[in-house]
Every structure is written in structure tokens, then in C-alpha cells.
Structure 1
Amino acid sequence: MEEQWARDVEICLELGDRRKEFGGAVVPPTFGNTLFVYDSTDKLSEAVLNEQGSYVYTRGTNPTVETAEIKLAALERGEKCRCFSSGMGAISAALLNSLKSGDHVLCVSNLYFSTMGLINYLSKFNISHSVCYGTDAETIEGHLLPSTSVIFMESPSYMTFRVADLEGIASLAKERGIRTIIDNTWATPLFQKPLLHGIDIVVHSLSKYMGGHSDLIGGAVIASKDIIDTLFKKEFLLVGSTFSPYEATLLIRGLRTLPFRMLEHQKNAKKAAAFLEQHPNVRQVYYPGLPSHREYERGKRYFTGYSGLMGFEVTGGYKGVKRVLDKLNYIKIGVSWGSFESLALSPNTGQNERQLANERIAPGTIRLAVGLGPIERIIEDLEQALR
């Protein structure tokens, strides 16, 4: 693991920077231009015919974005990466590349609500879906249909933090010619590498830990060369969810400190989870880094570390979560996560408890993103809010 970590640090700090090519620049230049010119018609034609390997138009390939993609592919141990203007852009491309009319998507446990919204929307194109709330291969096998062509998962899962059996699911899927897609945003490539366990496609929201500063929106798809090459020509170029070179510069900056930030997130989160677990006003804590987690042993097979996002449950439904959240001071109420600040919210809006029950999410659930601030301040704030 030490060797893997050292390699990942080197990737974040230096891989793809091409300093000799860029005049010795310690930070890769931001190529904000929209197009690239050529000396002759023949050279332009040659570049257009090989747009993946040439700089023609920034909607296709751009040197700054390419640097970020080289780093992300290497971190995930994938062959190639494409960055998109948002995490949903990446998820949309991965699904559209994997599906056709008449296909079925099997969702494993809880998925990000916008991902589920997209999968629901695909019914317009005669693509159906179902959800299996079990996370082991045997249970998932019982939910497969003859038309299942994609198994989509987050591990840990959205809001409930269940841990999927990646190797079992990947093996099951390969036997049946089913493509597997995982959202690996929670763990980052530093703490989980799904491609090494047989998963076909990894997607990320780059807005979270990868960027790390709450100042960029982006997404990534990482997979084999064959998958990314077909995706480039269709779901990437034609849909046009282009990752800006300015955002790519921010991402490259974020990646340089990613290994060191993740260790701090992990240290703080473990302390916060342990505090919450022993608090009398907390019914349950959902954090894969706790030995009490129902799939802790499974997680040890896949995670080499644990990020700062967790859930915990209080009593009283919407009134209970509102009472706790509104008393927070140091921890802010807001969406997203993965940056320096600590954030909290609840999936319970006061009007959706029946939906939460259907999705097996407790009505008293609060999601906590433990940031990089002093853990004493974070725990103190939790204590006074829960009192």
C-alpha cells in the first residue's frame, strides 16, 4: 500500500505536466483558446480525422484539460479519461454510451437523486430500471433481467453508505455481458480503485474532493481505451458537455494537495464518527470507517482509507433534523461536500417521508461532510446542536 500511495502522490504532483514542452513552467499553462491553427489544409485535415490525438477545437481536446485527464486515468489505473463540465455530464455520457432502447438498468442500493432522475428520464427512450437494495452479488443476481445491460452503483451508497461487493458484482456482470458503472466520488481514486476489481467504468464529480476548494464544477469518466474512444466520438463530442480549461487549471491545483487533504479528512471524520456513535441522542451512524458498520469487513477489501462524508440518524423525523441543523454554527447548512468547509443537510424536506421510506432512508437522517477545520470545533458544534 505504501508503494501505491507513493505512486499516487507522484501522479498528483507531476504526471502529465510536460514541463519541458511548456518552457519549464512549474504549473501547466491554461490554454484558454477555442481553436488551434495549422500551416496547411492537409495538416488540418489530418488533425480533424484524428481529433482525439490532436488539438483542433477545445470542445474536443485541449492541452490543459488533457493534463488533468492524464492524471485522473493514472490515479484510477485506467487506460483513458474524459472530463466533462459536471458530474452529471459524465454520468450521462457513461449511461448513454452503455444503453440502447429496450435495455434495463439495475441500480444497486441508493444513488444520487440526480442520477436517479436521469435514469427515470431514460424511460422516454424505452429504457427501464429497477433498484436492488442488497449490495452482495447473490442478492443482485436475483434482480437481473434478460434485458439488463448496466449495473450502476455508488459505493458507499448515497445517504445510506452501504458498501457494494465490487468483485462479486463485476464477476457476475462479466459472465452475462453486463456493463458495470460506479460513482467513486466518495472514496476518490486514492482510497478505492474499482477498475482493479473488475468494474468497467468509473465516474466522478470533480467538484468534490478532487477540486477540494468549492470553486469548480466538473466530472470525469475513466475506463478502457476502447470505451473512452467510442464515448469521445458520440457522447462526448455530440452532447458537448465540455470541461473548461480554466476549470481544469483549478482541478490540477486541487489534485496537487489531494493526498494530503484526504488524510486530514479521514482523521477528522473518524473522530467525528466516534463521537456521534457514543452520543445518546444519535440513533445510528452510517460511516464505513467504523467497525460497527454492517459492511465494515467488506469495505476493508476495497477501501485503503475513508473520506469525510457520513450520515447519522436522530429522532423526530423532519422536526428532529431541522432542530439539529438549525442549531449548527461552525458547520454550515448546504449542498455538496468534499471541500475545506464542514457541511450538513438532510434528505428529508418535510414533504417526502413516504419517498424516503420507499428508498429505505430513515426520516431522521442527517448527512455530515467533515471538513479540514479543527476537529475540536466540529465536535463542539455537533455537541451543542444535539444537546
Structure 2
Amino acid sequence: MDLSYIINELGEDRALYFNAVAPPILQSSNFASNTVADMRRMLQNEAEEYMYTRGNNPTVTMLEKKLAALEGAEHAIAFGSGIAAVSAAVLSQVKAGDHVVCTKYVYSWTRTLMRRFLPRFGVEVTLVDGTDPENFRKAIKPNTTLIYLESPTSFTFDLQDIEAVTAIAKEHGCSTIIDNSFASPLHQNPLKMGLDLVVHSCTKYIGGHSDAMGGVICGKREVINQIFKREYMTLGAILSPHDAWLLLRGLRTLPVRMERVAASTRQVVDYLVQHPKVEKVLFPFLKDNPQYELAQNQMSNNSGQFSIILKTENIDEVDLFCDSLNHFLMAASWGGHESLIYPIAATYATPDHTSDLPFNLVRFYIGLEDPEYLIKDLEQAFSKLP
């Protein structure tokens, strides 16, 4: 299916809404039935009908159709946040007594789900170094039902060999889920590599403007409809029609934004790699990265995130460098027009600090600014360090 068609036309029937170019926000909680027979039919097939916006909503459906097509999936279901989608996807595949194998350094709230939430309900979780597929095989137990991936990972940007891990999962009868947010559906399509379910935080690249929250699960229609009937309808973490409309707006520019972000990121990374005050750049598309070939094989392009390890043993110097940046916002998310940093040093000395990442690691997201503008800012911040 053509990318331009997916983004600009798929799921949109303008004749239904006065040929308006922008789709409407159908901000209705209820949809009426004409007869008892109609209501009976809708109740029997609520996953495919418009009856109540906690189930389906036409504005949300437009977004779901586009996201499914971008991932090459049969169907998709949208949520109010990325972690809502992650949680529903995971819960749909496990029950008490099951075992999950998950790659390390996943998104912090996914890690919380794995380490603190699932064990409360009798689900055991093993975290492994996902850079070696054999680590997943070694961790599998007779009661393992799910392997969870995030590639690239959130702070270290390690990759998992998706095809190899998927083959191991199928060999042992395990289902598979991957968080594909960091690559975007334009740069990586895990379903084509054998994964069962793909999740995204739509808050990031899909929205692209830092003004809407959302998440999505993509997969086979039968599986998605089962999630609709159980986890989605029961837990109620729905996406509002207004946020769906904002995410639809963001999708219109996704290809041009991703192209710009990818090119600018490479330019900034090239500057940082040679800087004497940078110990290491964590970015899989560097030729000396041990996963460079894998990145080339399973991703069509880089995206905008990477991390650096500053050459310092002093946390105050990390603070000074980050505080000296004028054109990078310090924030937790990413994927919008603005460039960001997230210093691991900010998590140190907090009451619930659990990170095993080094304090001198700083995650970067490169937005839509001119790369030269960002490099000048980096240079002046580095100049403040002893």
C-alpha cells in the first residue's frame, strides 16, 4: 500500500462529512441504534461497531486504520498512552503461573510493569541482555509464554535480532511483542520479521508536536479483537477523539519529519564522536558499533535518539554540561519538533533510584532545528567543562 495513500486517504470518506479536507472530531460518547435489532447486532459485534466511544469512535478508527497499514498489520487498537498499549498487550498474553522473558533497559514504566506489577499476579519475569539471541533461548522455561522486545532500547539503543529471537519464540511456542516507538513504523516493520504484536507510543513520532498522548497495538485482527473484548474494554484506557485528531494531523508530516530528524541526527552524532570530552556515543548506525550490520539489515534508517557518555567521573560536571545547554530542552519524552536531553544524573540520589545506567550518560533527541544551531550550543556547553 502506498505511503502517501495511507497517510492522506486511507480510512477517510470525505463524502460522509461534507467533503471537509480535515477529518471531523466526532466528540460523541454515544451512538444511537434505530431498532432493538440494530442494538442487538452492535452488542454482538461491538469490536467492529460504533456504539459507545469507550469501544469505537470514527475519528479514532481513522487513526487505527492508518497505523495498522503503516505496520503492515491486519488491525490496530489505539489507547490513551503508550504504556497503556504496552500493558494491555502484555496482559493479553499472560496469566498467573506464566513466565516472561524481556530485554533489559526497556522503557522505565515497561520495566516497572515487568518487575513490580506482573509478579504481584503470579507472573514471573526474567530480564536478559537482548544483544545476543541465545540469551532468550537460555532464559526460556517450560512456562514461558511471552518474549518482549524493545529495539532499539530506550537509553542504550541496543538492538535485538528480531528475526532470530522470533524464530526462537516460535520454536518454544511463545508469543512475541515489540515496542517499535524508537524506530517508528517508517524505519522498522517487525511484523514482517515474524513478530506477533507491535506497540507504539503515539505520543512520540506519530504525534510529532508534543501536544497529544496516545498508544497503539498492531497485529492480526483476531488477536486485536480479543484484546478489545478483554483488556481494552475492561481497563478503559481509551484514546479521546480529540487526541486521535491531533495524531492524525501529526501523521500527515511523519515522512518529512523523519527524514529531517534522521539527517540532522547523523550530523550531530558525527560532531560528538570526535569530541574529546565524549567518552562514547551509543548509536547503532555508527560503523564501529558492533550492531551496525544488524541495524542496516532490520532498519531502513536511523531515527533521532542516541546517548553519550561524558568523559568525567564527577556528577557535578554532568549537571554543568546539561544546565549550560540553551537550545536543548530537558524533558522526559521525545519525537516532537524540539530537541531534548534526558540526563541519567537527574535520577541519582532520588528515593526510588533503581537505574544501573552510569550517571554520566545523557540521552539526546534531535528535533527539527538546524543541526549547525544545535552543534554550536553543544560546543559552548562543552567549553564550560574543566
| Range into which the TM-score falls when normalised by the shorter chain | over 0.9
Give the corresponding residue for 1:372.
368
Say yes or no: does 1:347 pair with 2:316: no
What is the 5 A alignment of 1:192-271?
A: 192-271=188-267
Which stretches of structure 1, 4 residues or longer, exceed 3 Å deviation after superposition?
352-357
Alignment partners' CA distance in 2, 1:318 and 1:95: 37
Number of matched pairs: 379
State the shift of 1:373 in Å.
0.7
Give the corresponding residue for 2:313.
316
Alignment partners' CA distance in 1, 2:215 and 2:128: 26
- Aligned letter for 1:62? N
Q: Which deviations, in whole Å up to 9, do the C-alpha atoms of 1:116-168 show, x marking residues without a partner?
A: 11112111101111111142322321122222111111101120100110000
- Aligned letter for 2:307? G
Alignment partners' CA distance in 2, 1:169 and 1:328: 40
State the shift of 1:317 in Å.
5.0
Give the corresponding residue for 2:129.
133
State the shift of 1:289 in Å.
2.1
The change in CA–CA distance for 1:130 and 1:317 in structure 2 (over 3 A counts) is farther
Query: Residue 64 of structure 1 is aligned with which of 41, 59, 63?
Result: 59
Alignment partners' CA distance in 1, 2:266 and 2:256: 16
Alignment partners' CA distance in 1, 2:374 and 2:129: 32
Asked if structure 2 preserves the Cα contact closer than 8 Å seen for 1:136 and 1:168, the reply is: no
What is the 5 A alignment of 1:283-322?
A: 283-314=279-310, 315-316=312-313, 318-322=315-319
Moved more, 57-66 or 286-295: 286-295
- Aligned letter for 2:283? Y
The change in CA–CA distance for 1:279 and 1:36 in structure 2 (over 3 A counts) is same
Moved more, 257-266 or 342-351: 342-351
SS at match of 1:98: coil
Give the corresponding residue for 1:381.
377
SS at match of 1:320: helix
Asked if structure 2 preserves the Cα contact closer than 8 Å seen for 1:318 and 1:350, the reply is: no
Give the corresponding residue for 2:70.
75
Say yes or no: does 1:282 pair with 2:278: yes
State the shift of 1:329 in Å.
0.3
Asked if structure 1 preserves the Cα contact closer than 8 Å seen for 2:68 and 2:76, the reply is: yes
State the shift of 1:299 in Å.
0.8
Asked if structure 2 preserves the Cα contact closer than 8 Å seen for 1:132 and 1:140, the reply is: yes
SS at match of 1:131: strand
TM (normalized to structure 1)? Answer: 0.95
Give the corresponding residue for 1:330.
327
Query: Residue 175 of structure 1 is aligned with which of 168, 171, 185?
Result: 171
Asked if structure 1 preserves the Cα contact closer than 8 Å seen for 2:130 and 2:159, the reply is: no
CA RMSD of aligned residues (A): 1.5
Alignment partners' CA distance in 1, 2:320 and 2:118: 38
Alignment partners' CA distance in 2, 1:56 and 1:198: 34
- Identity, % of aligned positions: 38
Alignment partners' CA distance in 1, 2:317 and 2:127: 28
TM (normalized to structure 2)? Answer: 0.95
Asked if structure 1 preserves the Cα contact closer than 8 Å seen for 2:348 and 2:359, the reply is: no
Alignment partners' CA distance in 2, 1:317 and 1:261: 36
- Aligned letter for 1:261? R
Q: Which runs of 5+ in 2 are unaligned?
A: none
Query: Residue 43 of structure 1 is aligned with which of 15, 29, 38?
Result: 38
- Aligned letter for 2:114? I
Alignment partners' CA distance in 2, 1:103 and 1:341: 41
State the shift of 1:45 in Å.
1.5
SS at match of 1:337: coil
Alignment partners' CA distance in 2, 1:319 and 1:65: 46
Say yes or no: does 1:28 pair with 2:26: no
Alignment partners' CA distance in 2, 1:211 and 1:279: 33
Q: Which deviations, in whole Å up to 9, do the C-alpha atoms of 1:244-294 show, x marking residues without a partner?
A: 000000000000000010000001100011111000000000112221222
